[in-house]
Structure 1
Amino acid sequence: MTETAIADHGMIGDLQTAALVGTDGSIDWFCCPRFDSPSVFGALLDEHRGGRFRVRPAGTEYVTKQMYYPDSAVLITRFLSEQGVGEVVDFMPPSGEVATGRHRLVRMLRCVRGRMSFDIEVAPRFDYGRRTHTAQVTEHGAVFSTDQLELSLHTVREPEDERLARGRAEDGDVRVAVDLVAGQVRGMILESGADGPPREIRVAEFQRLFDETVRYWRSWLARSTYTGRWRQVVARSAITLKLMTYAPTGGLVAAPTMALPEQVGGERNWDYRYTWVRDASFSVYALLALGFRDEAAGFGSWLGDRIREHAGGEGGPLNIMYRVDGSADLKEEVLQHWSGYRGSRPVRLGNGAAEQLQLDIYGEALDSMFVGAQAGLDVPYRGWLAIREVLDWLAGHWDQPEEGIWETRGGRQPFTYGRLMCWAALDRGIRLAVAQGRPAPLERWTRERDAIYDQVMQHGWNEHRQAFVQHYHTEVLDSALLRMPTVGFVAPRDPRWLSTLDAMDAELVTDSLVYRYNPDASPDGLRGTEGTFSLCTFAYVSALARAGRIEDARHAFEKMLTYANHVGLYSEEIALTGEQIGNFPQAFTHLSLIEAALTLDDALDDRTGHATAP
């Protein structure tokens, strides 16, 4: 298979959807009009049937480089050849906070030195390649049409240029050739929801779009209050999280992609284009810590809406994930006609795990609300009533088997992490009620919170392993438990916790990279193996720092930074070869990176007695 490697991509977006641009100048993934809409370009999952929007030099050997324009989400792919140096500058102007069908993929072609001819291929495959379309070349561009979606291709040029004399439509695709000399700028804009037919755009207007987009991102990033040691890395993670936010609702998608494998050739291929309660909750802490109060409030509002909508529902007040608009229809199906990334099948669309019972989500949700309240984000009257209803339900239902954080499909168990986070949910609810003088059945909540604590200490601790284990009926270790000291369940230097950390060092850690658990020792209902989980590696850094192993933490953190791709993005996992695998980029990984950087900064400052220099 010839699909471009997962890590050989940068991401652009407009806060309602996103596109992945390969180092070869090809847009290999793009869904429209939302993150969770059907794909238009899907070559990442099928080279031949997925569709792509490719720009590359014609008739010459070349090498490529890719970078982000500083402090922005504007991506530059450079082509270097003996004839000249050219660039394609890709970005999407932000769409705003109102859901809209208008989205623009802007591709600016520039010759920097010498001369360069570009071959351009626009080959959409609508609805995951299941829907036929027509392509019509016009005087100023082209139109791609289906019965559900229409895309307009506008050309960027000056009056003296030829009028698409070298452009042609063939089998629904459009191919164009552009010749440039040093200093010339041309390009195209692919637009959904256009007001009219394709139009001719002048270079000056093109440049204005570029300037406005850069200005937006730099203005947004300037609000960051982070002054720690890893500013560039943290800034890129913050921009990445912002790019994965659906602005109309504040929902954060776990990743903009689907079906990218956790093992190449394996079946662990999930659709991540949805908003997990867990991820959205973690984002509140990370963004508040960086000073992005509006975004944290937006995520908190999204979460509050879900609690108010579903309080009292069957199977628990909350689903584990939702679509970006808050709906819960995530029926899983398999795209039989796609080969999958490097032959990794099945190619799953939708996510059957949405119906699982994962009790930990209540802890993450309540912890984020507690952190938000401490930062001055209001909990209104209706919000408190919904929180109280959730906690009343949890107080009566925490002691039951569940599927757990990793969404395994091997049956329900009394997972230690789920119990841990139920404890956290009740603990934060009690603290909120006391701090804000809200009515609550504190005696009941306290009794159940303390019962969870005693149960975890008795049954979650395994004497033989001298460690906390994945669930009560196993000796398997689980790196989800790295959050035990973070939420305050155990002291970070408690002997039981230090012993658990030592056990993880021996079994789950390899070259500072961390596995979720050992799938061979813990049957999870799925075939195959997986790589190390990047979010777990960053959680390991935080745990080391809290445990006083500061040098180990810094070494692990710096080493993990070398596994980022060329523009600072992380997928879900790292394979044995060091290759990035899994959905990309993954929000949870970047959230964990930010938390690790903040925790490590604090530990280093405490050791030296000096705050980080601004």
Structure 2
Amino acid sequence: MTETAIAEHGIVGDLQTAALISTDGSVDWFCCPRFDSPSVFGSLLDGADGGHFHVRPAAGEYTVKQAYHPDSAVLITRFFTPTGVGEVADFMPPEDGPATGRHRIVRLVRCVRGRMRFEVEVAPRFDYGRQPHETRFTAEGILFSANGSRLALHPVREPEDEVLAEGGIVGGDARFTVSLTAGQIRGMVLESEPDGPPRELRAAEIRELFEHTVGFWRSWVAGATYHGRWREAVIRSAITLKLLTYAPTGGMVAAPTMGLPEQVGGERNWDYRYTWVRDASFSVGALLGLGLVEEARAFGMWLGDRVRERTGGPSGPLKIMYRVDGSSELKEEVLPGWSGYRGSRPVRVGNDAADQLQLDIYGEAMDSLFIGDRAGLELPLAGWSAITEVLDWVSRNWQQDEEGIWETRGGRQPFTYGRLMCWVALDRGIRLAAARGLPADVARWTAERDRIHREILERGWRPGRHAFVQHYGTDVLDSSLLRMAKAGFISATDPQWMSTLDAMKAELVTDSLVFRYDPGASPDGLRGEEGTFSLCTFTYAEALARAGRLDEAWEAFSKMLTYANHVGLYSEEIALTGEQVGNFPQAFTHLALIDAALTLDRALDERARRSARAPRPRSAKSG
């Protein structure tokens, strides 16, 4: 069995975990009970031994189309066969509350026209396939159990069904078929940690779950204030960010997957199922820009807890990433038995980069708190003393060499972006203290902030390159610096900034797609290459818009939209072939899409207003 392409998936979730479902009707990735828990279905990383749950036509040729139910996280997969048309509606009823072990994948199966015979196979592999399981097939359903974990499959049947399903257990996996005629609705619910044995459900019950889930998402989307040019892409990105948020704490995972390669066959295969301070901090501005206040507030509380705990250890008061519950143990290990996506090994669980020193996180964290405060999400005064301790630490340590934003494993350097975001941290702290009349060592923060600014201009700028560079002592360009103008460090139309954009366009941009940096020119301690970074492409479009280069920005943004998959989702990178690679879907990319759309919309609207106000030339009189 071969792995389905990364982009051939949609995502459903319940705000505590998520499942990826392929265009062939297979649940190829599902971790339970949380995003960062071991997988139950993992065929995305090992087609033979990872486990899957598929529902598809039982025999013959068929074609498939997949789309989301409008303004929702309900995924519809439609199968077209010579004998009829059928569909599977996949969703997970939201668990928007305290952490629970109960999660439900609902698979509503419907025959639209003619007749359809569906093939169902449920093949769980608990704990990344390391725990064998037992399977019990009863008249009321199926129960899978392994080392204290349980999954119940509840079938959907009607009293008049004489023979709805035929099948049994094969090697511990459940296999059966479901035959339907036009208008019939059946299906199944896979439930983790059920409070009782499997039981039969009626079609009315599963339809009620469908309506409830659609209603939840449409009610949530109605709170978004965006009505710009790219509503469909922006709202899909917002829904995706919501799906990647762990509701009990407000932490947002970078992606729901692990081990998907940045280069197929390579070793750049990381576990992204954690909350990065950086990524989640960026989400605050994007969500507030859409009017989605509660999500921004929830993350602010999560971040506030991390600041107050100050459990970062030797690398500073904060770690760069945490588990969704805020714990910080992310020890990296390898799953030796898994083949990896299309042979991309090793398959890693955990992430040793958690212990790296990355100074930029302090700027992103403080900027999110500053933005939130300006939007009315006031900081609790009880947390201010912890914030001042963090900023005091930044003022003493910003000159350290570090690993940098891209988590390279080639040794520490004086990265310009890290210095830039230390400047942001102190700048936002100074502004907050002044705006709220809060006690702080403002004189020291101001002195260090200004020192950073002078140093970046002196050492981060390369006159021969006419650009700001990746770190002191190199001529390498780095697209992380695309945020310099947005951060307020430099004017978006300053000549030095414009020439930096030109240098990046010449070296890091290929047909509007943007590389993070050139690994050949800046060794990062890893073998192989990588594709263009989707986050950077959207950030590039936003930077162009801020610089007044609107036609370039519009073109870059429009081209990038064509690289979305069939349901509007993005992975981490775009390979040379145009395929999506890296973990999927990536929160960073979707929040950058939102930021770019908001900025470009405003700039285009302002240009249209200026054009409308401009005096029109008078036509010459004949005569």
TM-score (ref. length: structure 2): 0.97
Q: Deviations over 1:10-58 (max 9, x none)?
A: 0000000000000000000000000000000000000001000011101
Query: What is the SS of the residue equivalent to 2:558?
Result: helix
Match in the other structure for 1:318: 318
Query: What is the SS of the residue equivalent to 1:481?
Result: helix
Query: What is the SS of the residue equivalent to 2:72?
Result: coil
Match in the other structure for 2:415: 415
**Residues 312, 390 of structure 1: 8 Å contact kept:** no
The reply to whether residue 102 of structure 1 matches residue 120 of structure 2 is no
Shift of 1:383: 1.2
Match in the other structure for 1:556: 556
Match in the other structure for 2:338: 338
Letter matched to residue 2 of structure 2 = T
Cα distance in 1 for residues equivalent to 2:345 and 2:312: 38
Cα distance in 2 for residues equivalent to 1:99 and 1:163: 39
Match in the other structure for 1:607: 607
Shift of 1:162: 3.5
Query: Which residues in structure 2 correspond to 1:58-207 (within 5 Å)?
Result: 58-162=58-162, 166-207=166-207
Match in the other structure for 1:209: 209
Match in the other structure for 1:480: 480
Cα distance in 1 for residues equivalent to 2:21 and 2:239: 16
Which stretches of structure 1, 4 residues or more, deviate above 6 A after TM superposition? none
Letter matched to residue 356 of structure 1 = Q
Match in the other structure for 1:442: 442
Q: Deviations over 1:438-468 (max 9, x none)?
A: 0111110000000000000000001111100
Shift of 1:148: 2.8
Shift of 1:228: 1.2
Shift of 1:602: 1.0
Cα distance in 2 for residues equivalent to 1:395 and 1:162: 74
Cα distance in 2 for residues equivalent to 1:391 and 1:163: 68
**Residues 311, 389 of structure 1: 8 Å contact kept:** no
Match in the other structure for 1:350: 350
Q: Deviations over 1:213-245 (max 9, x none)?
A: 000000000000112111111000000000000
Match in the other structure for 2:511: 511
Q: Deviations over 1:400-455 (max 9, x none)?
A: 10000000000000000000000000000000000000011111000000000000
Letter matched to residue 86 of structure 2 = G
Cα distance in 2 for residues equivalent to 1:19 and 1:204: 24
Identity score, percent: 71
**Residues 165, 179 of structure 2: 8 Å contact kept:** no
Shift of 1:611: 12
Cα distance in 2 for residues equivalent to 1:150 and 1:582: 31
**Could you list the runs of 5+ residues in structure 2 that have no partner in the other structure?**
613-623
Match in the other structure for 1:228: 228
Letter matched to residue 544 of structure 1 = L
Cα distance in 1 for residues equivalent to 2:408 and 2:353: 8
Shift of 1:287: 0.6
Query: What is the SS of the residue equivalent to 2:602?
Result: helix
Letter matched to residue 329 of structure 1 = E
TM-score (ref. length: structure 1): 0.99
Q: Deviations over 1:318-352 (max 9, x none)?
A: 00000000000100000000000000000010001
Cα distance in 2 for residues equivalent to 1:298 and 1:479: 30
**Residues 315, 355 of structure 2: 8 Å contact kept:** no
Query: What is the SS of the residue equivalent to 1:136?
Result: strand
Query: Which residues in structure 2 correspond to 1:16-55 (within 5 Å)?
Result: 16-55=16-55
**Residues 140, 164 of structure 1: 8 Å contact kept:** no
Cα distance in 1 for residues equivalent to 2:474 and 2:204: 65
**Residues 275, 322 of structure 1: 8 Å contact kept:** yes
Match in the other structure for 2:459: 459
Match in the other structure for 1:596: 596
**Residues 157, 164 of structure 2: 8 Å contact kept:** no
Cα distance in 1 for residues equivalent to 2:165 and 2:212: 31
Query: What is the SS of the residue equivalent to 2:403?
Result: coil
Match in the other structure for 2:619: none
Q: Deviations over 1:294-329 (max 9, x none)?
A: 110001100000000117843211000000000001
Cα distance in 2 for residues equivalent to 1:572 and 1:310: 30
Letter matched to residue 458 of structure 2 = Q
| Cα RMSD (Å) | 1.2
Q: Deviations over 1:199-222 (max 9, x none)?
A: 010000110000000000000000
Query: What is the SS of the residue equivalent to 1:119?
Result: strand
Shift of 1:187: 0.5
**Residues 274, 324 of structure 2: 8 Å contact kept:** yes
Cα distance in 1 for residues equivalent to 2:409 and 2:307: 26
Cα distance in 1 for residues equivalent to 2:314 and 2:120: 52
Match in the other structure for 1:426: 426
Cα distance in 1 for residues equivalent to 2:611 and 2:292: 21
**Residues 263, 581 of structure 1: 8 Å contact kept:** yes
Cα distance in 1 for residues equivalent to 2:123 and 2:345: 23
Cα distance change of structure 1 residues 274 and 311 upon mapping to structure 2, 3 Å threshold: closer
Cα distance in 1 for residues equivalent to 2:177 and 2:359: 56
